[in-house]
Amino acid sequence: MELRSRRLVGATIPPGANDPVPTEVEVRWDPLTGHSSRILTAAVQLIPPQDFDLAAVAEETRAGCPFCGERVDELTPRLPPEVWPEGRIRRGEAVLFPNILTYAQHAAVSVYSPHEHFLPLDRMTHRLVADNLWTQVTFVRAVSERLPEPAWGSVNANHMLPSGSSLFHPHLQGSVDPVPTTMQALLARGADGRFEKYLEAERLAGPRYLGSTGRIEWLASFAPIAPGELRALVPGACSPADLDDDAVEELGAGIATALGLYAELGLQSCNMALYGAPSGTAGYWLNLRIACRSNLRPLYRSDATYFERLHWEGAVDLSPEDLAERAGDRFRR
Ligand SMILES: [Zn+2]
């Protein structure tokens, strides 16, 4: 598989100079979806270092938080008994319940812990992530089994401001529908051996291949649609429902590792999607994308510009190769 890219060269005359100097930007195309991305060389970092006091926002929002302590049992909805007789799915500290905002035919929210109102990226442990992921995988499985049509399941996160979360308390969101999202449909269209070819191409190329944690492969995305984008590929699974307990542990550990890397890079907020297709979709590999958001500060520059929102093209100044170098060997078992 060819990893397609093109360098675009222009020219400008800098202030105070007389002669033009060349300018350059690289456009890349994602091998799985065709989504385009530009890798920029910015004079000033697009995401400046964090200086926003998230802990203060945590304190401001704690008192009225419906996910904190015993309030989670009083103020959140319950699953119908045919889906889960106990009403809420629990594992370790994690608790899953239906999303009060109906984003999907079956939509769930799960908190890492009712006792953890504030979980900055460097406090996201393997245990917290794996247990919470388990509740979502169990939800997707329980709902998918009851759906009369093929189920498109996903597990997602808006972590910390400004990721899009309406409640501060850290949580995951799961979704199961009889129809795919735009990205699930694009990824499933690539289910013609493209996942395998992509992994093989990146393994051979080297600089963006981060390693295997056993059954799960990690990469820095060749053509990121968002800053700091990492990808996990899970050969042998199509839906989150296909993950056995060992695979959930392994993926949970990988996600916690990715969050730790972001914390080291001085980032505070991220989004994640584990894109499922119906179980048994030929050639499909369950896959995950995780990427950063801008660090919050007054008048901060959003990472979602006309490029991302309206052209569906990423524009990042942290190159995938530099990201992979920063990741080092942490995803290799
Ligand atoms: Zn809370």
pLDDT value at 191 more than 80: no
Q: How far is the CA of 17 from the centre of ligand 1 (A)?
A: 55
List phi, psi (to 5°) of 13: -105, 115
Does the pLDDT value for residue 298 go beyond 90?
no
C-alpha of residue 101 to centroid of ligand 1, in Å = 17
Has residue 195 been placed in a domain?
yes
Indicate if the pLDDT at residue 190 is higher than 80.
no
Residue 107 CA, distance from chain mean position: 17
- Assigned domain for 9 exists: no
Query: Is there a contact between 91 and 45 (Cβ–Cβ < 8 Å)?
Result: no
If we measure between CA atoms, which residue out of 125, 135, 161 comes closest to residue 255?
125
Q: Where are the beta strands (DSSP E) in the chain?
A: 5-12, 21-29, 36-39, 89-91, 94-98, 106-111, 152-159, 171-177, 209-212, 217-220, 230-234, 270-275, 286-292, 313-316
Q: For residue 46, is it within any domain?
A: no
Distance from the CA of 113 to the center of ligand 1, in angstroms? 9
The secondary structure of the chain in percent helix, strand, coil, rounded to multiples of 5, reads 30, 25, 45
Q: Render pLDDT for 68-77 as a digit per residue (tens, 0 to 9).
A: 999 999 999 9
pLDDT for position 246:
98
Cα–Cα distance for residue pair 65/114, rounded to 1 Å: 10
pLDDT average, residue stretch 125-129: 98
What pLDDT, on the 0 to 100 scale, is given for residue 123? 96
pLDDT digits (tens, 9 = 90+) for 3-12: 999 999 999 9
Is the pLDDT confidence value at 51 over 90?
no
Give the count of domains, the chain. 1
Domain assignment of residue 48, yes or no: no
Q: State the SS3 of 279-299.
A: CCCCCCCEEEEEEECCCCCCC
Task: Answer yes or no: is 62 within a domain.
Answer: yes
Q: Is the pLDDT of residue 43 over 90?
A: no
Query: Quick one: average pLDDT of 274-296?
Result: 96
DSSP per position, 81-101: TTT-TTSSEEETTEEEEE-SS
How high is the pLDDT of residue 148? 95
Query: How remote is the CA of residue 169 from the centroid of ligand 1, in Å?
Result: 4
Residue 5 lies in a domain: no
Query: Is there a domain that residue 17 lies in?
Result: no
- Helix (H) / strand (E) element for 261: namely helix 245-264
> 92 alpha carbon to ligand 1 midpoint, in Å?
17
Predicted confidence band at 333 (pLDDT cuts at 50, 70, 90)?
Answer: confident
Most confident region among 41-45, 115-119, 164-168 by mean pLDDT: 115-119
Domain residue limits at 72: 54-300+318-327
Determine the pLDDT at residue 287: 98
Q: Per-residue confidence at 33, pLDDT binned at 50, 70, 90?
A: very high
pLDDT score of 306: 93
CA of residue 226 to ligand 1 center, whole Å: 28
Percentage of the chain beyond pLDDT 70 is 100
Evaluate if residue 50 carries a pLDDT over 90: no
Q: Which of 47-61, 119-133, 144-158 has the lowest mean pLDDT?
A: 47-61
Query: Residues 154, 278: contact at Cβ < 8 Å?
Result: no
Q: What is the pLDDT of residue 32?
A: 95
What confidence score (pLDDT) does residue 325 get? 97
Mean residue pLDDT of the chain comes to 96
Q: Compute the average pLDDT of residues 232-253.
A: 98
Sheet containing 5-12: order of strands = 5-12, 21-29, 36-39, 313-316
Q: Given CA atoms 156, 203, 248, 55 in this order, what sign does their dihedral have? A: negative
Ligand 1 center to residue 85 CA distance, Å?
25
CA 218 to chain centre: 13
* pLDDT recorded at residue 64: 92
Torsion-angle region of residue 326: left (phi > 0), alpha (psi -120 to 50) or beta?
A: alpha
Say how many Å lie between the CA of residue 93 and the centre of ligand 1.
Answer: 13
Which is higher by pLDDT, 173 or 1? 173
Residue 138 — very low, low, confident or very high, per pLDDT cuts 50/70/90? Answer: very high
Whether 138 maps to a domain, the answer reads yes
Decide if pLDDT at 230 tops 90: yes
Dist CA 251 CA 275 (whole Å) = 13
Query: What string of DSSP letters covers 41-65?
Result: --SS-SSPPP---HHHHHHHHHTT-
What CATH number is attached to the domain comprising 144?
Answer: 3.30.428.10
Given this model, what pLDDT does residue 82 score? 95
